[in-house]
Amino acid sequence: MRVQYEELIKVAQSAKRRAYAPYSKFRVGAALLTSSGQIYSGCNIEISTYALTLCAERTAIFKAVSEGEKKFKAIAVVSDDPQYIPPCGACRQVLMDLAGNIDFIMVNGKGAGKVVKLAKLLPYAFGKKNLLRTRKKRKS
């Protein structure tokens, strides 16, 4: 594991402390590394209507994109689960769209990380390319 990734895991662990998970009690922290070396953290934020809940990964990437970031390298995700934590389907799509085939670092309860390429977690991904192929050219 690269030193930079160890650091990313530590940032994700401290973001987990800020998780707002009164319903599931499942606390998650994420840390997203940009190509220029900046780190954006995120935690899960639960809403009483459940469906509006935001996962830690999406909190982190929406923060980064809203600050003008466009290129990413990796994201580390931690929880209190002793097992490695994989991302939900919605986060896989959002990360693929906005960050591309980055390293996804799944972390277990002991703080050990396992690096998996996002394309492996989301094979045959739908994306911008599919929309651009069928969109008719319009005069502006």
String marking each residue 71-90 x if it binds ligand THU according to CB under 6 A: ------x-------x-xx--
Residue 7 known to be catalytic:
no
The distance of closest approach from Cβ of residue 59 to ligand THU in the complex, given in angstroms and rounded to an integer, is 8
Binding of ligand THU by 69 (CB under 6 A): no
Q: Do 8 and 31 meet the contact criterion of CB atoms below 8 Å apart?
A: yes
Task: CB nearer to ligand THU: give 91 or 118.
Answer: 91
Q: Which residues bind ligand THU (CB under 6 A)?
A: 21, 24, 26, 28, 44, 46, 53, 55-57, 77, 85, 87-88, 91
Residues carrying an active site annotation: 57
